[in-house]
Structure 1
Amino acid sequence: MKIVGLSGSIVGSKTRTAMNDVAMEIADKYPEVDFRLIDLADFNIQFSDGRNYLDYDGDTAYVTKELMDADAIIIGTPIFQASIPATLKNIFDLLPEKAFQDKVVSIVVTAGSSKHFLIPEQQLKPILSYMKAQVVQSYVFIEEKDFYRREIINDDVSFRIERLVEDTVVLTETYSNIRKAKEEEYGF
């Protein structure tokens, strides 16, 4: 099973901190999982211009191919001005309409206040559904007060990350088994 973690911003540290915790949780509990963390701050991604994702090169090609090859994706995003960052939206624009078909996608959100709690519901989940993702319904929402010196200090947040990782792995295995059983029904 291949899971890609996507830290969807090029600024700030909180989303990357949360995604590092996701990576540690997967490494500790699911060492058999091939996990790769992509932090958009480490890449030079081109703006989408309508081309097929396979027609891009460099960092853009690498990131889009990794996402397309994944069985599951854990998206980490901050909330800026009551919206997802443009860098994350650009990634969605680079990919085909059905890019997340047969993929489980889960969400980790960092925000400055609790007022942004519904942004994933109103903006991110509709995009993921449109792209045919099997979205893990519960997401992890982390506020400014849950961080101290680039570490998550709220035990409840750590527990929710643990649960999100478990749900992502279990759902990915379940959907894979269902698809495999359905394919075996054809008998050829």
Structure 2
Amino acid sequence: MKLIGISGALAGDKTSLAVNDVLVAAQLLDSSLQTELIDLREYEVEFAVGAPLADYNEDTWNVVNKILSADFLVFGTPIYQASITGALKNLLDHFPENAFKYKVTGMVATGWSDKHFLVPEYQLKPVLSYFKGLVPTGNVFIHNDSFNEESEEIIDRNVADRIQKLAEEMIYLQQGINNR
């Protein structure tokens, strides 16, 4: 199985590191997993204008096709102005309606305010559900204070445990879908 993580941040490292932590945790649970991190900072994903995918640049084409080829996914976003990033929403606008059918689609969010912990639930989850993604219950919100200021590693043991549980749930659910 292939698990792809998508970091929807265009600035900073926290979201990318958090998504990568989910990938690492999943790989430790199942060494046969293939994992890949798509960090949107490394790609020039064009603004979605409703054109066919073939009309967009190579980065847009490659990112969309990598995601479509994955067995399951984990999406990461920082919370800006009480919302997911525009870069992540723009990426999602490139997908067809059934893009995530039979795929587990986990969520990780980072932010400065605990008041934003429900943003993924109310903004990202409906979009992933629209694409027919199965969203696990154990999604993770990470307050920026949970990161070491210098290394930007997660130092909050509770957050690390929730990342581990998300990886476990995602693998369990995807194996169940694959074995039905």
TM-score (norm 2): 0.95
CA contact (8 A) 1:53 1:96 kept: no
The more displaced of 44-53 and 108-117 is 44-53
CA distance in 2, matches of 1:2, 1:16: 18
151, 174, 186: which is aligned to 2:153? 151
1:56-67 equivalent positions in 2, closer than 5 A = 56-67=56-67
CA distance in 1, matches of 2:94, 2:62: 12
In structure 2, relative to structure 1, the CA distance for the partners of 1:24 and 1:47 (3 Å cut) is: same
CA contact (8 A) 2:138 2:162 kept: no
What's the counterpart of residue 9 of structure 1?
Answer: 9
Matched, 1:111 2:111: yes
Displacement of 1:54 after TM fit? 4.4
What's the counterpart of residue 166 of structure 2?
Answer: 164
What's the counterpart of residue 184 of structure 1?
Answer: none
1:1-188 equivalent positions in 2, closer than 5 A = 1-148=1-148, 149=150, 150-178=152-180
Displacement of 1:27 after TM fit? 2.8
Displacement of 1:123 after TM fit? 0.6
CA distance in 2, matches of 1:88, 1:129: 15
C-alpha RMSD of matched pairs (Å): 1.1
SS of equivalent to 1:62: helix
Matched letter for residue 50 of structure 1 = G
CA distance in 1, matches of 2:78, 2:109: 6
Displacement of 1:145 after TM fit? 1.2
The more displaced of 23-32 and 88-97 is 23-32
Matched letter for residue 167 of structure 2 = V
Q: Higher Cα Rg: structure 1 or 2?
A: 1
Runs (5+) with no aligned partner, structure 2? none
Displacement of 1:19 after TM fit? 1.7
Query: CA-to-partner distance for each residue in 1:99-121, whole Å, 9 max, x for gaps?
Result: 11111100111011101011111
Q: Structure 1 vs Structure 2: percent identity of aligned residues?
A: 42
CA distance in 2, matches of 1:4, 1:114: 27
Displacement of 1:97 after TM fit? 1.5
SS of equivalent to 1:170: helix
CA contact (8 A) 1:7 1:15 kept: yes
CA contact (8 A) 2:77 2:108 kept: yes
SS of equivalent to 1:151: coil
TM-score (norm 1): 0.91
Runs (5+) with no aligned partner, structure 1? 179-188
